[in-house]
Each structure stands twice: as C-alpha cells, then as structure tokens.
Amino acid sequence: MFELPDKTTRFFGVFDGHSGSLSATYATSQLPQLLADQLKANSDPAALSPDFYRNAFESAFLLADERFTQKKITSGTTSVCALITKDQLYIAWVGDSKALLVGKRTQLQLVKPHKPENPDERKRIETAGGTVLHAQGQWRVNGILNVARSIGDYSLEAVIAEPDFVDVQLNEAHDFLVLGTDGLWDHVPESLIIETVYDSLADTTMKLDDIPKLLIEAAKERDSQDNITAVVVLLKPRHQIEHL
C-alpha cells in the first residue's frame, strides 16, 4: 500500500484522542503515510541506522502536527507507534499510551509517558510560558491537558509533538508486543496483561482477534471509564510461543 522497498516492514499505532474522536481519526489517516514517505526518502539499506528511523518518526509526527493546524483541528491525540523491520523494533510516542515488550525472560515497558508533572516536562512547559496546574484530580498543562506532548492541541503552545524514541534488537526470546492507551495501563497490572495473553495464546480455541478484547474487558471490570484500545503484535508464529 505504501510502496516501501522493504516488504517485511510492519507498522502498528494506537492513537488516543481527546475532545472527541476527530483528532485520533485524522492522525490515523495521516501518520502512516507521512512515515512511509520519510522511509522511502532513503532506500539504501546500509544507511538505515536507528538515527534514520528516529528522524523519520520525528518528521512524520511534526508534519502531522502541522496538518492539524492547517485543518484548524483544535483537539489533539496521543500516539504510540511501532515499526518492525526484520529483527529491529522501533517505538516512537507522544503522550501516555504505552508499549510493553514481552518474552519468557524479559518484560520491558518501552515508554516513559509524557506527563506534565514529570520534572523534565514541567521545566520545558514553564520555559515555554505554560503552567502546570492540578485540576480535576490530575496535573494539567495550563489546567487543561493531562499530557505534556501530543499531536495537535495547537492552542497550547507548550504542548509539543516531538516524539521520544527507542529501538530494540529483537531475538528469539521476544514473544509479543502490547500497545495500549492509558485506559488500559492505568487499570490493569502489566503482570495480568502478560498472563492473559500467554493463557489466550495457549488456548487453541481462542481467536487472535479476541485476545485484545479480553484486555479491554479486564480494564472495564476494573472501572476504567477512559478510552481503551489494545493491540497485541506477535513477534513469532503462535505455535512457537510457549505457555508462560
């Protein structure tokens, strides 16, 4: 669809909009194409370093943010994106959606959420002329937004769309990746998420499409009233993933 030279490339993203669904829907339609355009700008495999992917993600996020302004979309969205190329995993994010990399010997939360009360984010916000206030039970930028970075929200100048980025070399020890919004992570312990996915994969009657639904139901049972999105990405064939 995106005519990338490497046909093994896989992309996954979770977008958690606020003030309605428009921002998440718009980012979903824009960001994959913008990222693909950046990736196609350099087709030399020898030059595809982690820095290349970092720059590609940053350009795509910032271009998507510019288009929000051009379209006069006043709301915004968090974003966590995963790009998998052969044995490399690249994660880029703004906001508080997360990505959990899971294997028998490793369970690694790859995302440090961009929350206004984090010292680094608070300093950046205040330097940009914004304030961090406690309102409606949470720390918020200018008393409004409870994340320090997002795509959109151009009325809040201290809220930026520059993503953070991590890269991980995948190996046979890695089984799956879970992407989710804060409506999942704030209510369901990571240990339960891991156990649920492993148990479901071991159940041959369980369809793969139904596994994220179990995670969403677990969040609802624990009184999550927020948007809840969960994506489970297998990093090897299902029959090769042994029960935990």
> Does the predicted model carry a pTM greater than 0.85?
yes
With residue 103 as reference, give the H or E element that holds it: strand 98-103
Query: In this structure, is residue 33 part of a structural domain?
Result: yes
Query: What is the average pLDDT score of the chain?
Result: 94
Q: Domain range holding 229? A: 10-114+149-240
- Residue 229, classed as helix, strand or coil, is coil
| Res 42 pLDDT > 80 | no
What band does 150 get if pLDDT is binned at 50, 70 and 90?
very high
Structural tokens at position 187 = 């209510």
Quick one: average pLDDT of 7-30? 93
Query: In this structure, is residue 121 part of a structural domain?
Result: no
Number of domains forming the structure of the chain: 1
CA 179 to chain centre: 6
Query: In this structure, is residue 68 part of a structural domain?
Result: yes
What band does 47 get if pLDDT is binned at 50, 70 and 90?
low
pLDDT tens digits for range 168-193:
999 999 999 999 999 999 999 999 99
Query: In this structure, is residue 127 part of a structural domain?
Result: no
Query: What's the confidence (pLDDT) of residue 3?
Result: 81
Quick one: average pLDDT of 102-116? 95
Rounded-to-integer distance, Cα 198 and Cα 96, Å:
25
CATH of the domain at 60: 3.60.40.10
Rounded-to-integer distance, Cα 144 and Cα 37, Å:
34
pLDDT tens digits for range 198-233:
999 999 999 999 999 999 999 999 999 999 999 999
Query: In this structure, is residue 132 part of a structural domain?
Result: no
Query: What's the confidence (pLDDT) of residue 41?
Result: 82
**How buried is 23 (Cβ within 10 angstroms: 0-12 exposed, 13-18 middle, 19+ buried)?**
buried
Closest of 234, 215, 224, 120 to residue 170, by C-alpha: 234
Query: In this structure, is residue 138 part of a structural domain?
Result: no
Structural tokens at position 233 = 């990405």
Query: In this structure, is residue 5 part of a structural domain?
Result: no
Query: In this structure, is residue 156 part of a structural domain?
Result: yes
